[in-house]
Amino acid sequence: MQLTNEQIADYQEHGFLLVPNLIAESHLDRFEARFVAFATEVVEPAPEMIIMRDIMVVQGAVEPATPMHAINKLINFEDDPTLYGYALETQLLACVRDLIGAEIFSISTNVFNKPPGVDGRHPLHQDLRYFRIRPADKIVATWTALSTATEETGCLAVIPASHKGELYDHAYPDWEYVNAGFFGIDAEKIGERVHVEMQRGDTLLFHPLLIHGSGRNLSQSFRRAISSHYASSECESPNRDWRVGKQARRITI
Ligand SMILES: O=C(O)CCC(=O)C(=O)O
């Protein structure tokens, strides 16, 4: 076991758990360098990988200072052994298995890049909105800071214990610039948000019903994170078998 019984109880009570210093510095360097290589087109994207540009850049509202200032995220890195090394990190898998059981699949992967100079907010949302598999309690997200994440740089904000509620309707927020797929909920009445400040290498584990989002990056540096979702092999989906989906990978180590 990687997590203590107290940590597991904490996760179950609040819907999230911060595990400090989980991933080695040298591994973070490797993931970040690989991400930059993809984002700057030094390396061809792996199959299925998508590199997304910030909406303000796409619409010409800001001129990115460097190519990295144009990118908001990279998704689907399952076919890149370097980045996917994140999803196979020993300590990370141990935490995930402590929360959802031994037989697991990774089901989605992301690198989040929040550059300075753009809006870049991620509205409050629940990740279950993006998944058809259930039960929710057998799915967990991992989000590891690749840079210091503070309120100033646009760290994650969560509504503690909101995972005990329902899956809310999601829609694009009424903001001038919203990145593609960044759906949100009207969470004002649901609870107080708490900012989760993190150091590089810290990992947040969170439940797919936990309401969370992130603010603007008001600093001069990038706020980056690498993330994966995992589901127990016990999960089911309504139509086709999710286990043979393009992004699903059985974890065999
Ligand atoms: O990294 C961010 O700013 C947002 C991440 C997020 O919302 C998520 O992992 O679901």
**Which residue has a Cα nearest atom 3 of ligand 1?**
214
203 lines ligand 1 (CB under 6 A): no
Tell me how far apart the alpha carbons of residues 93 and 129 are, in angstroms, rounded to a whole number.
24
DSSP per residue, 195-220: EE-B-TT-EEEE-TT-EEEE----SS
Give 155-188 pLDDT, tens digit per residue: 999 999 999 999 999 999 999 999 989 999 987 7
Mean pLDDT of 135-145: 98
Domain coordinates of the chain in residue numbers? 5-250
| Interhelix angle 90-100/5-14, nearest 10 degrees | 70
Query: Would you state the pLDDT for residue 186?
Result: 87
Query: Given a cut of 80, is residue 124 above it in pLDDT?
Result: yes
Residue whose CB lies within 8 A of the most ligand 1 atoms, among 35, 121, 122, 144, for a mutation test: 122
Would you give the DSSP letter of residue 169? P
Band (pLDDT 50/70/90 cuts) for residue 193 is: very high
Give 216-228 pLDDT, tens digit per residue: 999 999 999 999 9
Tell me how far apart the alpha carbons of residues 48 and 236 are, in angstroms, rounded to a whole number.
24
Per CATH, the architecture of 5-250 is what?
Sandwich (2.60)
The contacts of residue 101 (CB under 8 Å, 6+ apart) are 138, 232, 233, 234
Query: Would you state the pLDDT for residue 129?
Result: 96
Ligand 1: distance of its center to the CA of 213 in Å?
6
Residue in 137, 145, 150 with CA at minimum distance from that of residue 218: 150
Tell me how far apart the alpha carbons of residues 60 and 82 are, in angstroms, rounded to a whole number.
33
Q: How far is CA 200 from the centre of its chain?
A: 15
Query: Would you state the pLDDT for residue 191?
Result: 86
Band (pLDDT 50/70/90 cuts) for residue 190 is: confident
Residue whose CB lies within 8 A of the most ligand 1 atoms, among 110, 119, 143, for a mutation test: 143
Ligand 1: distance of its center to the CA of 2 in Å?
24
